Chain A
Amino acid sequence: EAQVTQNPRYLITVTGKKLTVTCSQNMNHEYMSWYRQDPGLGLRQIYYSMNVEVTDKGDVPEGYKVSRKEKRNFPLILESPSPNQTSLYFCASSQADRGPYEQYFGPGTRLTVT
C-alpha cells in the first residue's frame, strides 16, 4: 500500500531536549516536505526536499533541521525544542515538486513541548 508514515504519532517532551520525528514514503517520490498546523493558521511549510541531498527552507524553518540522505526518508530534527513548537506536524511526498502531482500526507505527529 502506498503510504507516508511518521513516528512517533504523539510526543510530549521538555524544553531543550533534542528530538527527531521520522518520515518515510514507499512510493519512490522525489519530493518531500514538512508542515506544521496550528489552530487559526492553517498548514505552513517548514522545509522541503526536491531529491536526495537537496533541501530548502519553507515559510517557517527557524528551530528546525532536516536531512535527506535516502530518497525514502526525510526526518525532522528539533535540536532544542521550545514551547512555541508545540504543534501538529505533517510530512508529505509527491512525485515531483511541480505539476499537478498528488501530494500524499502522513498521519501527523502531535508534539507538545513543556
Chain B
Amino acid sequence: KNQVEQSPQSLIILEGKNCTLQCNYTVSPFSNLRWYKQDTGRGPVSLTIMTFSENTKSNGRYTATLDADTKQSSLHITASQLSDSASYICVVDNNAGNMLTFGGGTRLMVKP
C-alpha cells in the first residue's frame, strides 16, 4: 500500500532557529515528491517539487532533499520566522497516472 509518513507530528521552535522535517514514503512507482505549506483553514501552497532524479531543491529559506534509494525526504527551514507557523505536507506522485499520496503533515509552531 502506498504510504507517506511524516515526522515529527508537531514541533515548536524559537524564532530564528533552524529545523528539519522528515518524510518517508513507500509509493511505487515513484515520480515526484512535493512539499506544501498549509496555513490553518487555508489551501496548501506549493514549496518545492522534485523529480526522482533531483536530490535537492531550494525555495528561499526552504530546502528540500530527496534520497530516492532510501525513499526519504527532508524539508529544512533556515532562520525560522513567526510566519513559518503552519502545517507542512509531504506528497508523493506515483507514475501510474494521477495518484497523489499525502502525508499527515507536521504542524510547526514558531514562537518569539
Contact = CB atoms under 8 A, between A and B. Distances in A.
A4 B100 CA distance: 19
A42 B89 contact: yes
A98 B31 contact: yes
A86 interface: no
Interface in A76-114: 88, 90, 92, 97-108, 110
Interface string B28-57: 000110100000011111100111000000
A10 B79 CA distance: 36
A42 B100 CA distance: 12
Residues of B contacting A: mostly: strand
A92 B102 CA distance: 14
A43 interface: yes
Count class of interface residues, chain B: 20 to 34
Nearest to B95: A98
Contacts, number: 53
A34 to B, nearest CB: 12
Contacts of A104: 46
A38 B24 CA distance: 21
**Interface SS of A by simple majority:** strand
Contacts of B93: 98
Determine the interface band of chain A, counting residues with CB < 8 A from chain B: 20 to 34
A102 B49 contact: yes
B105 A42 contact: yes
25 contacts: A31-B98, A33-B98, A41-B104, A42-B89, A42-B103, A42-B104, A43-B44, A43-B102, A45-B100, A48-B98, A92-B43, A97-B97, A98-B31, A98-B97, A99-B32, A100-B49, A100-B50, A100-B51, A103-B34, A103-B46, A103-B100, A106-B43, A108-B41, A108-B42, A108-B43
Q: Lowest 5 A-B CB distances belong to which pairs?
A: A105-B43, A97-B98, A43-B102, A42-B104, A100-B49
